[in-house]
Chains A and B, each alone.
Chain A
Amino acid sequence: MNVVAATPLLIMSGASVLALVLGVLPLGPRSRWAPALVAAAGCLATFVMAVVLWGERQVAFDGNVRADRFSMLLVMIVLTATLGVLALAQREPSAVDRRAEWTGLLMLSATGMVLVATSGDLITLFLGIELLSVSLYVLCAVEVWRERSLEAGLKYLIIGGIGSAVFVYGLAFLYGVTGSTRLSDIGATLSGASLTGEPLLLVALVLITAGLAFKASAVPFHMWTPDVYEGAPSPVTAFMATGTKTAAFAGFMLMFTGAMTGVESDWRTLVAAVAAVTILVGNIAALLQTNVKRLLAYSAIAQAGYLLIGIAVGSIQGAEAVLYYLCAYTAMTLAAFAIVIIREREVENGDTLAALTGYGRVRPWAGVVMTIAVLSLAGFPPLSGFVGKFLLFGAAVEDGMTWLAIVGAVGSAISLAYYLRIAVVMWSPVPDSEPAGRKLLRMPLAGAGVAVASTVAVVGLAIFASPLIRMCRAAAESLLAP
């Protein structure tokens, strides 16, 4: 049995458990950072293993877990997001006195994401999604003294339960049609036999699309997103916006671009319709938000719509674009959330637009970070968000879905209105009504580091787009490897 392919998974699980156990041991106040350090070390070790395993596909546990270029690239994105969130949680009030649980749950959730990315079987895929979700239900509600946090957790749990039920129901139908839970077998069956238009398969497709779209917060399965994003502790929100989204799209690519590519004609209209509706509803609803976390929630919905374009296209080129955009999206989202989180610790209601007014004048570097992040999210050239959208829309045009590219371009144009509002607010003069002495804490180094590093990544991914696109290409191609 080849365990090497499963090492990323094993290291992450080990680190999660160790971080949890550290909370029980009587270690004293000096070692309060131990769980976070263990988690970070685990992530780094996994990252190294991901680099080592980059190459031809290796399988472990009888093909339940696969390590290839595709899964390793996704693992790297997930780990980057996890490391960023660990750093952002440095002074997180919801983690005080419960750092071990907080970190442990975060790591468990990340483990679930790694499991999704490396899964080679419907069962492991579903297991990964459940693991990441259940940990997140708890993390959302971890700030027990705040009603909205509790509410976010409960809401996410109930709706998430329904979403999972729908998804697993769809998987069951798919098993019924193909007679196998192994992704590679499903792929072979679907492209071999002529199953196009088979009613059972259509039911499976609808349910699976709904389940994954729920995790990716695509319209009309998005309604939980604004409430949960707003209610959850901000680092958890940042983790959901980056990690969960990556995992959901890993699922999309494994299922649609990979396993079900043989019946592409059946699902591409459905996915394209979801993408179009998501782009329009997300962008328009974001226009009126005054809470930045809520605004970023709608923005995350809209971004899911752009990513879905790459799925709807169904080609390797589409998957390549999705992978590149996931890298860029993770960087810019982390940058934006880092600024919100830093501000939140300084003033009450720090997640409102009003709290950010004039912040760029007080802290110019924060203003620069936020401006670059939102411009990139809006797809402004030549930042990485632009390169990503260029690839996504380009893939759509090449595959004869020009209408979808137009919807995306129109959505981006609308989105500039609210993204730009954030940038303008950051640089407007500090309001006079401000109570005397705006509180400026000493900068949390870790948070500032995440903000700056993410911004560098946003710009760097654009400047050095070529090598990354080649990596994404290789990763996307390994999706179809037998």
Chain B
Amino acid sequence: MATTLGWIILALPLLGCLALALFPRHGEPPKGPVIAIGVGSILIAFVLSAVVFASMLAEDPSERLHVDSLYEWIDIGGVSVDLAIRIDTLSMMMMLIITGVGFLIHLYSVEYMDHDRDYRRFFAEMNFFVFSMLLLVMAENFVFLIVGWGFVGIASYLLIGYYYQQADAVRSAKKAFVMNVIGDVGMVLAAFLLVRELGTLDYSEVFARAGELGPESGTALAVCLLLFVGAAAKSGQMPLHSWLPDAMTGPTPVSALIHAATMVTAGVYLIVRCYTLFDLSSLAGDTVAVVGMVTLFLAATVALMQVDIKRVLAWSTVSQIGYMVMAAGLGLYASAMFHLMTHAFFKATLFLAAGAVIHALGGEQSLDRMGGLRRHLRVAYFAMGAGCLAIAGFPGFSGFFSKDEILAYSLAAGTLGTIGYVVGTVAALLTAIYMFRLLFRAFFGPDPDGGYAHAPHPSRWWMAVPLSILAVLAVVGGWIQVPFGWHLIDDWLAPALVGAPEISPSHTQEVVSLIIGSIVAVAGIAIAWYLFGADRERRLRLAGVAAGPRRVLEDGYELDEIYDEALIGTTRDLGDALTRDFEPKGAGGIISAPVAIVRGSARVLRAAESGLVRTYAFALIAGVGAAGIVIVLAVVR
């Protein structure tokens, strides 16, 4: 039954998307049916996921694995690829997060997108995203993982560029897509290697026979690193992170759902899903952990200096995913998934609260033109406060438990883990500072100079209710796994993580980490209050002190510029050279040159022509010569 419901869960958002896309197209349809289809499909999917979850709870832990194949898609020389889904405890957890948080964000969008004229397109694309994301986590083989991986990329591309009238939205969308394609290439190559070595792409078989790759073998390392290229691109890990802050050009619910709660954590899901492969190569795991560490630290420093409220949150997302990636690299798979879940709660809360602010201020996103909002927007204030306390790791809030678990467990994960602990703790201090900087600057103090151009209006219940629910989850979501108490996430995921290394900290390590974590959170909040809350002039006085490093941080270490030069610039120059110089001049110029055509100068044309054909003929003969050289070299060798 689980798989039957699984197919229905997968189909619902797709049907919703199709129904919306194929709506009779004259004019914008009435909003009622659009809302009913767009939000309803996700709600039903969530309810069904909950049903499946309940039925799995009733099962014996060892039987919580359901695989069902609809039909055989490709069969090439023994390698068969089925259209199949897999519902185990890991994918179940992801399904609940995707449909649950997804439903709340859809509900929120009903009001948030109220003024938009492309209402239907928005919900069609959002439903398509939910379908793709579900496909990604429910796939039973690497091929459909890649299909879902590509689909979420398309959905993300469409939704980042949702405001296609704005040039920078289109540019960001393209950038996100291109960087994600780099990741896709890595994934595809990893799949080829698996086919070559194991002759199969089904999870069950690949993971069962992963040992044949050989522990610490080059192949295992290559497969893991290629997979990680895909994971890093999707999850905004350095050096493939720069698309994520730019992706904030999309509508805020999109940022909350795709670029905070679900899609960007797919990389973490991938590593956890393939833990058997990563366990084969300690070098690959270490690489993953180091990349996570570098990312979580650098992104936290960049977040300190951002002025755009959504960019602060975007960099914070990069940093928080860095924690998960580090945990996954160190082998702390359950901890990574725990943080993935709480992060989905509190980051969605933060984004939606920020969205409520932006909505109330008529599109204003700069912290410089905010202040005193707690007097105007009560719900957003409380939600933002809850989210900030959670992400800062304030004792008792969800982030406290999940972040602490990662840090405490790192202590038990060898030297690299200890380094990770230190980096993670420093970054946690920065996290508390930058998040409360945002809170204090936007919600405390006086109204900005000149007041608000667009009087802030509180949100209606469409936005207030989902925001409140998520805020409550952000507060209590961590109690599901409490040190020295209960470990529901560990227990739940255990059947999906059979054979993963068991790393658990000693009591001393646990206690030390809890105490230091609490101190760091409180200290960060205090520093933020000192810098940004107590005296609003102090920030401006300090701003001049370190202008140079400040600018570097504002630009995110200027990596964008470097990429532009190195990657895009080179490709463009090469393309220029090829078309303008290497390709015979006339190809682009003489023959098709508008001037020549307009003049109709037969003489010029004829002269050009004979020259051209000669060039082409020469190239052909030269090509034969080159081919001759190649074959001689090949045979002699």
Contacts and interface: CB of A to CB of B under 8 A. Distances in A.
Q: Provide the main secondary structure of the chain B interface.
A: helix
Nearest to A368: B21
Contacts of A206: 624, 627-628, 631
Given A166-B620, A210-B624, A413 B630 contact: no
B174 interface: yes
B583 interface: yes
Given A274-B627, A382-B147, A397-B193, 17 more contacts: A148-B591, A154-B609, A155-B616, A166-B624, A196-B635, A220-B623, A224-B616, A266-B635, A284-B574, A285-B579, A287-B575, A380-B150, A390-B74, A394-B76, A397-B195, A420-B174, A420-B177
B75 interface: yes
A33 to B, nearest CB: 34
B77 interface: yes
Nearest to B170: A424
B25 interface: yes
A224 B616 CA distance: 7
A347 interface: no
A297 to B, nearest CB: 10
Interface string A49-91: 0000000000000000000000000000000000000000000
Given A162-B620, A210-B620, A223 B583 contact: yes
A209 B609 CA distance: 27
Interface in B588-637: 591-592, 597, 605, 609, 612-613, 615-617, 619-624, 626-628, 630-635
A409 interface: yes
Interface string A456-481: 00000001011001100100000000
Interface string B184-204: 110011001101100000000
A281 B634 CA distance: 22
Contacts of B74: 387, 390, 465-466, 469
Contact of B150 (A221, A381, A424, A463): A381
Majority SS at the chain A contact face? helix
Contacts of B456: none
B616 A197 contact: no
20 contacts: A159-B613, A159-B620, A163-B620, A196-B635, A209-B627, A223-B584, A223-B616, A223-B620, A273-B630, A285-B578, A287-B575, A381-B151, A382-B150, A409-B188, A416-B177, A424-B170, A463-B73, A465-B73, A466-B72, A466-B75
B164 interface: yes
Most buried by B among A223, A285, A413: A223
A398 interface: yes
A466 B73 contact: yes
A158 interface: yes
Contact of A394 (B192, B584, B619): B192
Interface of A: 147-148, 151, 154-155, 158-159, 162-163, 166, 196-197, 202-203, 205-207, 209-210, 213-214, 219-221, 223-224, 226-227, 230, 266-267, 269-270, 273-274, 281, 284-285, 287-289, 291, 317, 320, 364, 380-382, 387, 390-391, 393-394, 397-398, 402, 405-406, 409-410, 412-414, 416-417, 420, 424, 427-429, 463, 465-466, 469-470, 473
A226 B634 contact: no
B57 interface: no
A197 B633 CA distance: 11
A410 B609 contact: no
Nearest to A211: B624
B165 interface: yes
B75 A469 contact: yes
Given A151-B591, A151-B609, A405-B192, A413 B182 contact: yes
A210 B629 CA distance: 13
A431 B587 CA distance: 28
Contact of B631 (A148, A166, A269): A269
A393 B192 contact: yes
Contacts of A427: 164
Contacts of B626: 220
Contacts of B619: 220-221, 223
Contact of A270 (B77, B196, B627): B627
A43 B605 CA distance: 40
Interface in B553-590: 571-572, 574-576, 578-579, 583-584, 587
A274 B627 CA distance: 8
Interface string B537-562: 00000000000000000000000000
B181 interface: yes
B178 interface: yes
Contacts of B617: 158-159, 162
B258 to A, nearest CB: 19
Contact of A223 (B147, B174, B615, B635): B615
B312 interface: no
Nearest to B635: A197
Interface in B51-86: 72-77, 79
A412 B609 contact: no
B171 to A, nearest CB: 11
A221 B76 contact: no
Contacts of A398: 195-196
B318 to A, nearest CB: 23
Contacts of B178: 413, 416-417
B390 interface: no
B632 A202 contact: yes
Contacts of A429: 164-165
Contacts of A417: 178
A329 B621 CA distance: 29
Given A381-B150, A398-B195, A288 B620 contact: no
Contacts of B77: 317, 473
A285 B185 contact: no
B578 A281 contact: yes
Nearest to A393: B192
B146 interface: yes
A354 to B, nearest CB: 13
Contacts of B25: 364
A219 B455 CA distance: 63
Interface in B171-226: 174, 177-178, 181-182, 184-185, 188-189, 192-193, 195-196
Q: Choose among A221, A266, A382 the residue with the greatest number of B CB atoms under 10 Å from its CB.
A: A382
B147 A381 contact: yes
A413 B627 contact: no
Contacts of B146: 381
Nearest 6 A/B pairs, CB to CB: A269-B634, A220-B623, A397-B192, A287-B575, A381-B147, A382-B147
B233 to A, nearest CB: 11
B624 A227 contact: no
A409 B571 CA distance: 16
Nearest to B158: A427
Interface centre among A213, A398, A410, A470 (most CB of B within 10 A): A398
B624 A159 contact: no
Nearest to A224: B616
Contacts of A221: 619-620, 623
Contacts of B147: 381-382
Given A398-B195, A406-B189, A155 B628 contact: no
Nearest to A209: B627
B136 to A, nearest CB: 12
Q: For B72, B76, B622, B626, which residue has the most chain A Cβ atoms within 10 angstroms?
A: B76
A430 B75 CA distance: 44
A393 B188 contact: yes
Given A197-B635, A381-B150, A284 B627 contact: no
A284 B622 contact: no
A384 to B, nearest CB: 11
Contacts of A154: 609, 613
A427 to B, nearest CB: 8
B560 to A, nearest CB: 18
A178 to B, nearest CB: 18
B327 to A, nearest CB: 29
B245 to A, nearest CB: 21
Contacts of B587: 223, 226-227
